[in-house]
Amino acid sequence: MPHSPRLSIRRVPVDTLTVMDEEFRSLTDRLADEAGESAAYRRLLATDDDEELARVLVERERPLWAREIAAFRLGCAGDRRAFEALVLLLNHRDPERCVCAAHALVRLGDPRTPRAAAALATNTLRTAYALHPVRLLTALRAPESVPALMSTLERLLVPGDPHWRVALACVEGLGQLGDERARPLLEAVVPHPRLGAAARDALSRLRRPEA
Q: Consecutive 10-residue runs of the chain (211 residues): their mean pLDDT? A: 35 40 88 91 94 96 96 96 97 94 96 98 96 98 98 94 97 97 97 96 84 42
Pseudo-torsion of CA 129, 90, 139, 165, nearest 10°? 20
Q: What are phi and psi of 133, to 5 degrees?
A: -60, -40
> What DSSP string runs through 140-167?
HT-TTHHHHHHHHHHHTTSTT-S-HHHH
Specify the amino acid at residue 52.
E
Q: Which residues pair with 13 in a beta bridge?
A: 8
**Residue 173 near residue 137 (C-beta atoms within 8 A):** yes
The distance from CA 170 to its chain's CA centroid, rounded to whole angstroms, is 14
What pLDDT does 210 receive? 55
Q: 29 to each of 18, 69, 92, how far by Cα in Å?
A: 16, 11, 19
79: nearest Cα among 56, 100, 59, 104: 104
**Residue 12 near residue 18 (C-beta atoms within 8 A):** yes
pTM of the model: 0.86
What pLDDT does 6 receive? 33
What pLDDT does 37 receive? 80
Structure letter (DSSP) for residue 13: E
Hey, CA dihedral for 166, 171, 172, 173, is it positive or negative? positive
Surface-to-core class of residue 27, CB atoms within 10 Å of its CB (0-12 exposed, 13-18 middle, 19+ buried): buried
Surface-to-core class of residue 211, CB atoms within 10 Å of its CB (0-12 exposed, 13-18 middle, 19+ buried): exposed
What pLDDT does 2 receive? 39
Q: What are phi and psi of 157, to 5 degrees?
A: -90, 0
Specify the amino acid at residue 194.
R
CA distance 75 to 106: 9
